[in-house]
Amino acid sequence: MDSRKSTLNLPAGMESSLRLNTIPTHFPSIPKTPSPSKTTYSDRFIPLRSASRLQNFALVEKSSPVKEGGNEAYSRLLRTELFGADSVPCSPAGQGSPMSPSKNLFRFKTDHSAPNSPLSAVISGQDGGGSAEASMPPKVPRKIPKTAYKVLDAPSLHDDFYLNLVDWSSQNVIAVGLGTCVYLWNAATCKVTKLCDLGNRDGVCAVQWTREGSYLAVGTYMGDVQIWDSSRCKQIRTMGGHQTRTGVLAWSSCMLSSGSRDKHILQHDIRVSKDYVSKLVGHRSEVCGLKWSHDDRELASGGNDNQLLVWNQHSQQPVTKFTEHTAAIKAIAWSPHQSGLLASGGGTADRCIRFWNTTNKNMLKCVDSGSQVCNLAWCKNVNELVSTHGYSQNQIMIWKYPSLGKVATLTGHTLRVLYLATSPDGQTIVTGAGDETLRFWNVFPSAKTPVVRDSGVWSLGRTHIR
């Protein structure tokens, strides 16, 4: 038997009629499919702006009008809490200009994860981009050694606040007054030379190099001022005039100023034969601080009468008086970075470092150091200064100016740090104290690169200066 189905041979009309009659009457009707030619499809979906809520996030410049009973008030409140008050429209519609967002929330920023991107430099320079400073590495703070890298024994170094027994020349030689003698220590060769001995009836109260570093002035207990040629170890002349000890000296070209316990300041001109050419009278007690400005126009003097006086080249009376200190003023330093800027430090009852503008005669700043201020020295390489202290912490402090932030605090001396001098390159300081030691510290950076200099030829250890 043939497995194929048989086909009825019917007329065309009857065949279609038969098919329609075979559909069950209880089935639902089939919906009509629309013609494909009437519908257009796309590969993107574009939403309607009216259906979005971008206006709630200040991403649409034009705001919709406020409707009574709507949610615009809640939207403004939410926008204010999320993005700040600047994102709220200035006024309702019809009462002001349309809202324009003041904060660009989706601004471009430099991609730090791809520093080699060719667009990074362009993007960072745009108004909305990150600044060029953000891509720079952070500045590494300068490290200052906390201990002295060299210590010298200095027997008979007096523990006297009113004396000035240590100075460092521009030729890299340190002069130290020990008892009745003055010794020279060459920092390059470590060679020690005995310059002079004043004998049992006199003693050394002050030493001060000329700016060229060839000659040394020595103040004595008898009130004399001696000038020595360091290269030949020969005394050139002696100048009198003071009635008692000469504890402080200051050079200005060919002029030498000396301060004494007799309350007077004498001006010595080494080009003339007279002992002194003028006398400055203004202090009511011993003169213990004396410094010429870097341009040689002003002389600052401090005394045991708590006064800081400023003199000019031609006056025999002070042109300015500062009386804010409440103790003796030994520490005085002129800034090498700003004309007319003077720093001074007070003794045990004061403990403050004060900064003055000698041009307009105003006090600029004041900081309480916590201890007796014995010395001040400004760094010529950076705008910082060092202070040495006595009662009660005997510390050495480095300060930034004008912020007066502490850079470092150094300890090591067991008694008051009464003496201070700076190396010719401005990087190293030497301090002396009543503990009969001289200590060398690397505290300041060089003029070009802030790299701490190694000890070099100055080997570590304790060495007797004589």
Structural domain including 409 reads 150-464
User: 268 Cβ partners below 8 Å, 6+ apart?
Assistant: 225, 239, 241, 255, 256, 257, 258, 275, 276, 277
User: Furthest-apart CA pair in the chain: how many Å?
Assistant: 158
- Is residue 289 a contact partner of residue 260, using CB atoms and an 8 Å limit? no
Q: Is residue 80 part of a domain?
A: no
pLDDT per position as a tens digit, 159-212: 999 999 999 999 999 999 999 999 999 999 999 999 999 999 999 999 999 999
The per-residue pLDDT for 46 is 62
| Nearest-angstrom CA–CA distance, 237 and 226 | 6
User: With 80 as the cut, is the pLDDT of residue 150 above it?
Assistant: yes
In a domain, 397, yes or no: yes
* 91 contact partners, CB below 8 Å, separation of at least 6: 97
CA distance 181 to 3: 141
The answer to whether 367 and 351 have CB atoms below 8 angstroms apart is no
Based on the number of CB atoms within 10 Å of its own CB, is 352 exposed (0-12), middle (13-18) or buried (19 or more)?
middle
Per the structure, how many domains does the chain have? 1
CATH code of the domain in which 306 resides = 2.130.10.10
**How many residues make up the chain in this entry?**
466
Residue 241 pLDDT exceeds 50: yes
What's the whole-number average pLDDT of the chain?
A: 80
Residue 433 lies in a domain: yes
The predicted model scores a pTM of 0.68
The answer to whether residues 158 and 165 touch, using CB atoms and an 8 Å cutoff, is: yes
On whether residue 230 sits in a domain, the answer given is yes
Whether 66 is in a domain gets the answer no
* Residue 146 clears pLDDT 70, i.e. is over it: yes
pLDDT tens, 311-324? 998 888 999 999 99
pLDDT score for 314:
83
Residue 98 reports pLDDT greater than 60: no
Domain-embedded: residue 114: no
User: Of 7-11, 194-198, 385-389, which gets the smallest average pLDDT?
Assistant: 7-11
User: What is the band of 367 on the pLDDT scale with cuts at 50, 70, 90?
Assistant: very high
Bridging pattern class, strands 150-153 and 462-464: parallel
Q: What pLDDT shows up at residue 53?
A: 56
Query: Does 73 map to a domain?
Result: no
pLDDT of residue 253: 85
Better-scored residue on pLDDT, 386 or 50 = 386
Assess whether pLDDT exceeds 70 at residue 61: no
Quote the pLDDT of residue 87: 56
- Cβ contact 182:429 at 8 Å: no
